[in-house]
């Protein structure tokens, strides 16, 4: 052969607290841009408490769920990319003077030791330069500093190895969401200040991008399980009944108006936590900043009227994030349920699946 490099697709694998999602994309060139088509997709619920707040509690259950997910959906590609989130993941945006790469690496280590609330030796540290050096001395480099506890990386790596899959990379949920946003809403991504909020089972991830540059990432310890537990207590129902109500099932022994009021209080609590993040961002650097568009994804994004609540609170257009907006999905070959009813669950995994493996 001519020895030209070929790019091979990977399987994005979003190991959430409630379910595991898998997605494989065929990546093609369309002019100077990449075009994406879904080739494999799947969703498999996890046993309750197999993963709690991003920590793997029952690794055997996670392994078996991944195996079942691949088998049921006939996914043969063994090269996977996963992501992690939660309080074991630290993302900080820092500024450093322009310097040589070796000196920069030393400065990053120093910054990590002083900005991470864990011993440096217990973490894996990486960084990305957000803006290229402007070419003039004295200008700062904008850098994202990322640190993840080594024991968390090991736990997730181990379950992948036990499934006999090849772990190509580990990302952070927030970065995967950033990728999915850039691909599907390029016009807003490049021209506006936007927020994407992924409301998961245990964790809500918020990313804010300003004209294509990530400005803030934050994980909140609030999600579907928090809502379910509150409903269980407030309405005096079983966990299973509370979970069904959260999914929209009509209540049996509770007035619908009571359920609506309880849900409203929980949504209000979530919105108040998000507001703290927005306020911090808009007050940062004492600059005039305004979020111009809000996207919601994750399981709780499907709650009735939640987008309207966000829009009313922040007076900002709020829509459900569509991870397949610029990704071709052939409903004649694939189960259309994923595209028509479950799209909001696939924000993180779409960003993961856009990675490529060199062959």
Domains of the chain, start order: 1-88+149-185+325-359 (3.30.420.40), 186-322 (3.30.420.40)
Which candidate, 25, 37, 24, places its Cα nearest to that of 69?
Answer: 24
Least confident of 92-101, 312-321, 324-333, 336-345: 92-101
What's the pLDDT tens digit per position in 339-349? 999 999 999 99
pLDDT at 18 over 60: yes
C-alpha torsion sign, points 196, 199, 200, 203 = positive
Top pLDDT among 358 and 250 is at 250
Instruction: Give the residue-averaged pLDDT of 7-32.
Output: 90
| pLDDT at residue 238, rounded to an integer | 94
Instruction: Give the residue-averaged pLDDT of 213-221.
Output: 92
**At 280, which helix (H) or strand (E)?**
helix 256-283
Instruction: Give the residue-averaged pLDDT of 69-93.
Output: 95
Top pLDDT among 163 and 211 is at 163
| pLDDT at residue 7, rounded to an integer | 62
Report the helix count and the strand count for the chain, using DSSP H and E.
11, 18
- And the tokens for 343? 């799209």
What's the pLDDT tens digit per position in 131-177? 654 444 456 888 899 999 999 999 999 999 999 999 999 999 999 99
Q: What are the residues facing 295 on neighbouring strands?
A: 196, 319
| pLDDT at residue 286, rounded to an integer | 58
| pLDDT at residue 3, rounded to an integer | 33
What's the pLDDT tens digit per position in 251-285? 888 999 999 999 999 999 999 999 999 999 988 76
Instruction: Give the residue-averaged pLDDT of 330-338.
Output: 94
Q: pTM of the prediction?
A: 0.91
DSSP for 51-118 reads EETTEES-HHHHHHHHHHHHHHTT----EEEEEE-STTEEEEEEEEE---HHHHHHHHHHHHHHH-SS
The number of C-alpha atoms within 13 Å of 314 and in the hemisphere containing its C-beta is 28
| pLDDT at residue 219, rounded to an integer | 93
The answer to whether the beta carbons of residues 174 and 217 sit under 8 Å apart is yes
| pLDDT at residue 358, rounded to an integer | 54
| Residue 340: strand, helix, or coil | helix
Which candidate, 282, 295, 306, places its Cα nearest to that of 348?
Answer: 295
| pLDDT at residue 333, rounded to an integer | 93
């Amino acid at each position: 052969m001519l020895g030209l490099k070929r790019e091979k697709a990977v399987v994005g694998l979003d190991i959430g607290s409630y379910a595991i999602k898998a997605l494989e994309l065929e990546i093609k060139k369309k002019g100077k841009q990449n075009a994406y088509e879904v080739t494999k997709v799947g969703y498999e619920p996890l046993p309750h408490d197999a993963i709690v707040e991003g920590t793997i509690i029952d690794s055997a259950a996670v392994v078996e769920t991944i195996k079942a997910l691949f088998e049921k959906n006939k996914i043969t590609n063994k090269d996977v990319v996963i992501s992690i989130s939660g309080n074991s993941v630290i993302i900080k945006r820092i500024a450093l003077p322009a310097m040589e790469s070796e000196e920069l690496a030393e400065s990053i280590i120093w910054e990590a030791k002083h900005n991470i609330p864990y011993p440096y030796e217990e973490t894996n540290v990486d960084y990305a330069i957000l803006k290229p050096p402007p070419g003039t001395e004295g200008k700062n480099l904008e850098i994202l500093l990322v640190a993840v506890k080594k024991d968390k990386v090991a736990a997730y790596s181990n379950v992948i190895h036990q499934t006999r899959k090849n772990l190509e990379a580990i990302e952070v949920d927030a970065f995967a969401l950033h990728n999915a946003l850039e691909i599907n809403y390029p016009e807003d991504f490049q021209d506006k200040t936007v927020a994407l909020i992924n409301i998961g089972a245990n964790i809500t991830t918020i990313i804010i991008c300003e004209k294509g540059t990530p400005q803030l990432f934050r994980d909140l310890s609030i999600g579907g399980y928090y809502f379910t537990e509150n409903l269980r207590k407030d309405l005096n129902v079983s966990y299973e009944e509370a979970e069904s109500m959260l999914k929209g099932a009509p209540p049996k022994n509770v007035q619908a108006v009571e359920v609506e009021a309880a849900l409203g209080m929980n949504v209000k609590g979530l919105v108040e936590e998000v507001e703290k993040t927005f306020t911090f961002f808009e007050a940062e650097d004492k600059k005039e900043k305004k979020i111009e568009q809000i996207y919601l994804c994750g399981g709780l994004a499907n709650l009735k009227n939640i987008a309207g609540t966000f829009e009313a609170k922040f007076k900002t257009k709020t829509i459900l994030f569509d991870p397949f907006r610029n990704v071709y999905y052939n409903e004649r070959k694939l189960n259309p349920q994923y595209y028509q009813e479950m799209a909001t669950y696939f924000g993180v995994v779409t960003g993961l699946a856009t990675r490529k493996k060199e062959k």
